[in-house]
Structure 1
């Protein structure tokens, strides 16, 4: 599976995340904006006019967001390079397609990671079959994308990823904590041994995970906003995404899985 295609290429996108999605004035956004309305910072060339200073200008949410490559796919493939400014008749369908493809690409990212896990060999056929289905849906025409039941598909993918998680974490020696869905906001977990733990869907907002060992921990859907990850070891962590990393606070000593980048604000 080509995970490179699931990484955002903003230069090939028509600023879809800056137009299609809504945001509300908060700690993450300096102003409110309705879905389908261009952000006031979006330039004529579809680039952000304040990209270098988003955090300083109150747009932290923009620096956290990751479209998993949906932007360039919708712009260049689904709509064949026609942009919503020069072809305004495409705007409604394009803005509706973007969040659907974004979710499908996120599922493809998880499935791609799962297929690369040696421990998942027993379910490799199921992973590939499901990934093929999701890829087929993501490549559909705008009218087809509008009918995709993303919720049902996410549940099916989640069940299979749960089985992969069990297979991977079963190889971790010692006690493996199960903190799925736990409210650990602000928790003091400095130096904690969380190898092989299930933290799926857990709230770790502003938690202190300094120097924590999170190798092979299941971090699917874990809320890591403002979590302290200085010196933490996340190598081989399961289902960690760039958006989660971007939302946390790490440093030069934080160890990340291959394929994820150290955010500039670290």
Structure 2
């Protein structure tokens, strides 16, 4: 394992498909559903993958029944596995066992890069200053883990590491809302599927892991809400205010519905399909 991880680089936590061997299109399985038009086994190339490792229907993924592809983000894990862990070796040019190890490592790396993204956000919060030293140590530890060999990554208990990180992220969230001066709604892990939350006051609420699938959040006030792990698939965020929302990721936003009036934190961008559907 390398012993000197590079400093945190936000650009390294964004997918760079040109430097990846289409690992998300090969390594991961998916089932025929509202998100995918067909079934695909893990380790099997998607039928839409071209010889140049580009998607043959990239511009038509949603109308062709592959909306699940449009909301996936590896947080830069694809290029890390392709270029660093396996030294630029293409899964097509090596043996089956080597390719299988690459496919096994990819989801582990994806989780580690997601944690790096959360830790980087936490370190940027002035309110989290009391735990900045702990956050920095955890970020460095996580970066070091991403530089492990395929064998080390294969043995890693990523679930246990996630739990260690989550303790710090929860403390970060508590510190961020400590001076709010108002009761904080705790809806962690709540089943809010299809809930009617139009214009709801959810400022600073803890919605960690909440199931908000198809929830009506039109005009809701979600300023400063903790949305880590919240399932926002098909949630209506039209005119909702998510300014300063904590740990909101691009895949969550991409999976939701919204419009020009939706206010988002600077850490994410407005999905192109929101405009198309407006």
TM-score range, shorter chain: over 0.9
Q: 2:256 aligns with which of 233, 239, 248?
A: 248
Matched, 1:68 2:75: yes
Alignment map for 1:1-266 (pairs within 5 Å): 1-88=8-95, 90-266=98-274
Distance in 1 of aligned mates of 2:222 and 2:269: 17
Shift, 1:77, TM fit: 1.3
Distance in 2 of aligned mates of 1:88 and 1:10: 23
Distance in 2 of aligned mates of 1:10 and 1:210: 34
Q: TM-score, structure 2 length as denominator?
A: 0.93
Q: TM-score, structure 1 length as denominator?
A: 0.97
Shift, 1:49, TM fit: 0.5
Output the aligned Cα RMSD: 1.0
Give the 3-state SS of the residue equivalent to 1:265 in structure 2. helix
Distance in 1 of aligned mates of 2:190 and 2:136: 31
Per-residue deviation, residues 138-172 of structure 1 (Å, max 9, x unmatched): 11111111011001001111111111110001222
Shift, 1:97, TM fit: 1.1
Shift, 1:215, TM fit: 1.1
Per-residue deviation, residues 21-71 of structure 1 (Å, max 9, x unmatched): 000111111000110000000011111100101010111111111100000
Shift, 1:187, TM fit: 1.1
Q: Which runs of 4 or more aligned residues in structure 1 lie more than 2 Å from their structure 2 counterparts after TM superposition? A: 86-90, 171-175
